[in-house]
Amino acid sequence: MDDDAPALAFDEQDLLPAVAQDVDSGEVLMLAYVTEEALAKTRETGLAHYYSRSRNELWQKGATSGNVQHVEEVRVDCDGDALLYRIHQEGGACHTGYESCFYRTVDGDVVGDRVFDPDDVYE
């Protein structure tokens, strides 16, 4: 990183939360976590890479589903403890088939659009 780049405050598991936001609509699509390696791969390839806490591995968003995220810009918050990936999303961002992972209210009302059938994608 450049000498003027803000210091990043990775947590005790060496992770930072990263919010993916559609660069055109401004909609928040998902929240995931990144390691230094995931951030470096994102910057190197222009495709969103994250760290799966459940699988304990680096992953490229859309590698299985084809619903990749093209990263336009990576921003860091004022404390250096969260990132914002400003992206162009192909297909849906959510593994459940919805455009956004934030497709329902806390009362359970579905307010988002399902854009693919996960059974067809994740066999």
| DSSP annotation of 13 | T
Classify residue 81: in a domain, yes or no: yes
Classify residue 69: in a domain, yes or no: yes
| pLDDT at residue 1, as a whole number | 53
Classify residue 29: in a domain, yes or no: yes
Work out how many domains the chain is built from and give that number.
1
Classify residue 66: in a domain, yes or no: yes
Classify residue 36: in a domain, yes or no: yes
Give me the CATH number covering residue 72. 3.10.20.810
- State which residues form the domain around 55: 16-89
| pLDDT at residue 80, as a whole number | 96
Cβ atoms of 99 and 112 closer than 8 Å: yes
| pLDDT at residue 122, as a whole number | 82
φ and ψ at residue 32, rounded to 5 degrees: -145, -175
3-state secondary structure of 118: helix
Classify residue 24: in a domain, yes or no: yes
Classify residue 98: in a domain, yes or no: no
Classify residue 22: in a domain, yes or no: yes
Q: What size, in residues, is the chain?
A: 123
Element (H, E) at 20: strand 16-22
pLDDT tens for the chain, 123 residues long, are: 566 788 999 999 999 999 999 999 999 999 999 999 999 999 999 999 999 999 999 999 999 899 999 999 999 999 999 999 999 999 999 999 999 999 999 999 999 999 999 988 886
